[in-house]
Structure 1
Amino acid sequence: MPSQGPLIPRRRLGAELRRLREAAGLHLEHAAAHLECSTSKVSRLETGQGIPKTRDIRDLLGLYGLTDQRAQDRLLRLAGDGRRQAWWQDLNDALTSNLDQYISLESEASLQRDFSISYIYGLLQTERYARALLRSIAPHERESIVEDRVGLRMKRQQEFGARTDLPRLDIILDEATLHRRVGDAGVMRDQLESLLAVNETTGRRLRVFPFSAQPDMGAQCSFVIFTFDSDYDRNAVHIELPGGDRWLEVESDIERYTLFFQALAGKSLSEDDTDALIKKIMANNQ
């Protein structure tokens, strides 16, 4: 599956192009005729799905009557950013369905809220845990592909940690993820120990949804809510399902899953009690 470059700059550019077109009182057909292309191409540009070419963007800005040079330069920079090679471009063989979009959002979101029911959240996994997990869920996959996917997961953690805009992580793990054996006892011990550092890291919060909690509507599947500070970006929910992942971007769906997460958080252990539970599980498994 080929990477198509950073998604967020393309979405920001597309939102601006649509706003400018509508402000000029023009329809997709007018823009398509001006570029001598199909309306679907213009639509893909406005939704961030198309790869923006500088000449096309200049032509559209001229058609829409944008004369402010600084505004033009900003939009052309977004077009350039939308064409640049993603850092994960060289690991295409390791990309699974939807992962290109997932990493794009992960690389730009100001806040990620995750609820995990099956295994430790990817950005918190140790390398040994990730390797054992990927081998377990894809037992027939070539070893080279497994190693590429482990490398990609570790690179995601590195890139996320290197961001200068201090993105926030708010993670809720179902208690089952702490007990479910992935790899051998040593793998689990190291993974649980690494979780104890999460709540000591600025911008990161880890809580556990305990077995003692009452059942909750939101606890039926793993999901991530990607939230952006910019008004130009669309928030999104990624839902992990055995039959294929789902993406939601309608505002009402975002609000619904935000309420799910808040309800789960209300039933979860505090950070201190979460750390105490992890230490207890480690002590019992010695």
Structure 2
Amino acid sequence: MSKQLPMPVEPEDASGQRAGRRTTVRYLQNEAVPRAVRKVLGNALRLSRESARLSLGESAGRLGVSSSKLSRIESGTNSPKERDLPRFFETYGITTPQEQDNLRELAAAAHRPNWWQPWSAVTPKYLQAVVSFEDMACRVRSFEPTYLHGLLQTPEYARALIERGRGPANTYDELVRFRTARQKQFTSADKKLFCIVDETTLARPVGSSAIMRGQLQHLIDLTSHSRIQLRLAPLYDFDVHVELGPTTIFDFAGRLLPTIVFTEAYDGGLVIEDEEMVDRRVKAFDELAARSLDSHAMRRRLQHLMTRYR
């Protein structure tokens, strides 16, 4: 189970307004990437800096660090240790015990080992960032037009996909175990998953007919899951528009983090925090969901698709 983290206090500026809109868009590959808990801490420190009416450069000078290091802290790529926090408290005027304790707990959590640590050598850094968002999100919404989302895959389907990948063969078993552990970690927590499955992904065979039958039956079973909501974007329907492309939306409880969008590419992925871009993708996702088949109609279509793989 994921440990519940404290909610960061979102400070107001001198006019009583919250900080301005976010404009961050970042392409991640295999470099150091932001983990969700680090982003929570960095976001809280950024809001405190803005509330104190300090620029990034001014704050960096007072803290005795470079502007680039402070930027990495605020973006979640790096995080300060607990012993470094008093300097932030003094610089930003963070005086309330509750806010100080919350930030200390976040800093401690940011340096704790992750459950996926045993697989860190075989998984790309951007995927580790995605999994950290899954861990902290209260709801994940996803549309994948190429292959099924990792949280929906059977072990056999996952292995067939992994064996078609670019990694060395001696990592295949570990990657399958990682994907299985990822699913167990997610389903054991009180989280919700909302996936729009593109019918194209089911018409494109992976592995063998037996693997596809098992995968389709697994999806049929998931349509009755209490915390998993599935929709099917059907082929040959002129009203179903899939231009949204591969999109995963992470929603967080309270004010832990604003909604984040991730779109995966061949060798990395785009993390989108810009409010306008996130809003456009959320609206496009909602429109696609409304035009897709609901769970009952999807179940009937899946049962029909099973006949293709006999």
- The residue type paired with residue 28 of structure 1 is L
Structure 1: 5+ residue stretches without partners: none
Residues 82 and 108, structure 2, Cα contact 8 Å, conserved in 1: yes
Q: Distance in 2 between matches of 1:151 and 1:69?
A: 42
The Cα offsets for residues 142-166 of structure 1, whole Å up to 9 and x where unpaired, read as 2221222111111110110111xx2
- What is the distance in 1 between the residues matched to 2:51 and 2:68? 20
Match for residue 200 of structure 1 among 224, 242, 245:
224
Counterpart residue number, 2:247 = 223
Greater Cα shift, 195-204 or 224-233: 224-233
Q: Which residue of 2 aligns with 1:183?
A: 207
Q: Which has the higher contact order (CA 8 A, sep 6+)?
A: 2
The one-letter amino acid of 1:276's match is: R
Q: Does 1:149 align with 2:175?
A: yes
Distance, in Å, in 2 between the alignment partners of 1:245 and 1:19 is 26
Name the structure 2 match of 1:26. 54
Whether the aligned pair in 1 keeps the contact of 2:139 and 2:252 (CA below 8 Å) is: yes
Secondary structure of 2:136's counterpart equals: coil
Do 2:41 and 2:79's aligned partners in 1 also have CA atoms closer than 8 Å? no
Q: TM-score by structure 2 length?
A: 0.83
Q: In the aligned structure 2, how far is the partner of 1:55 from the partner of 1:243?
A: 37
Moved over 6 A (4+): none
| Aligned position for 1:267 | 291
Alignment-derived partner of residue 119 in structure 1: 147
Distance 1:242 1:142 in 2: 17
CA deviation string 1:244-277 (max 9, x = no partner): 4222211111111112212211221121010011
1:96 alignment counterpart = 124
Partner-residue secondary structure (3-state), 2:231: strand
**Aligned counterparts of 2:229 and 2:77: Cα–Cα separation in 1:** 33
Query: Structure 1 stretch 109-118 or stretch 242-251: which is displaced more?
Result: 242-251
Question: Aligned match of 2:266 in 235, 239, 242?
Answer: 242
CA deviation after TM superposition for structure 1 residue 284, in Å:
4.2
Deviation at 1:30, TM superposition (A): 3.8
| 1:211-249 Cα deviation digits (max 9, x unpaired) | 131165534622211122332403222222336422221
- CA distance in structure 1 between the partners assigned to 2:168 and 2:124 by the alignment: 14
Percent identical among aligned pairs is 32
Q: Which protein has the bigger helix share?
A: 1
Matched-pair contact (CA < 8 Å) for 1:10–1:52: no
Match of 1:86 in 2: 114
Change (3 A) 1:175 1:22: closer
Of stretches 52-61 and 152-161 in structure 1, the one that deviates more from structure 2 is 52-61
SS at match of 2:263: strand
In structure 2, do the counterparts of structure 1 residues 97 and 47 end up closer, same or farther at CA, with 3 Å as the change threshold? closer
What is the alpha-carbon distance in structure 2 between the residues aligned to residue 75 and residue 58 of structure 1?
A: 10
Does structure 2 retain, via aligned residues, the 8 Å contact 1:15–1:47? yes
Instruction: Extract unaligned runs of 5+ from structure 2.
Output: 1-29
